[in-house]
Amino acid sequence: MASARDGCHPVLSGSFASFHFSSLLALSCLFFTFPGSWLGLNVSWAFPIVSGNLLILTILYFFLTSFTDTGILHKGIEEELENQANTLSSRQQHWCNNCQLYCLPHTFHCRWCNICVEEFDHHCLWVNNCIGCHNFRFFLLFVFFLTIYDLVALLACFTYLALNFQQPFGVEKICT
C-alpha cells in the first residue's frame, strides 16, 4: 500500500493510462469497422487513410510521452551535491527534502512519482508520466494529433450518418 509520500499506488496510476489507451483502440476499431470502411468503399478512401495515419501518429506520440524520461533529477554522490550548491547561487537553487538533493531552477517534486522533474509542468494520469523538459514536446504533439484524429473521426461519423439517414437503425448506426 502506498503512503502519502509515495503518491498514488502504481497499479491505480497505471490503470488510468491503460484505460485511456484501451478505449482509444477499442473506439478506433469500431470506427474503422463501421463508418470508416463504408466511407472508404462508397465515398472516398481519403477518410480511412487520413484517419488511419492520424491514429498511428497519436499512438506514436502517446508512447513517446509515456515512456520518455521527463527530466528526472537523480540523487548523486555527496561531492556532486556540494558542487551543485557551490556553482548555483542561493537564489537559483532549492533543496528537496524528499529527494535529498539541490534542485535546479524550475524543478519541482511530483508527489505521484516521488521524483524531482526539471521544468515540471504536471503529472498526466492519462499517459502515466510526468510532463517535463524532455517529453513536453511529445505531449503537445500527442494532444494535437489526438484532437485532429477525434475531429476527423467525428466528421466522418457525421458524414456517414448524413448519407445513411434513411436507413433503419442497426448495429452500424448505433456504433457510429
| 3-state DSSP percent of the chain in helix, strand and coil, to 5 | 55, 10, 30
Neighbours of 28 (CB within 10 A): 18
Give CA–CA dist 152/55, Å, rounded.
10
Q: Is 124 a catalytic residue?
A: yes
C-alpha cell at 88: 548555483
**Pick the catalytic residue: 124, 133, 157, 175?**
124
SS3 category, 1? coil
Contact, 32 vs 45, CB < 8 A? no
What is the spatial distance between Cα 82 and Cα 62, in angstroms, rounded to a whole number? 38
Say if CB 133 and CB 70 are below 8 A apart.
Answer: yes
Residues annotated as catalytic are: 124
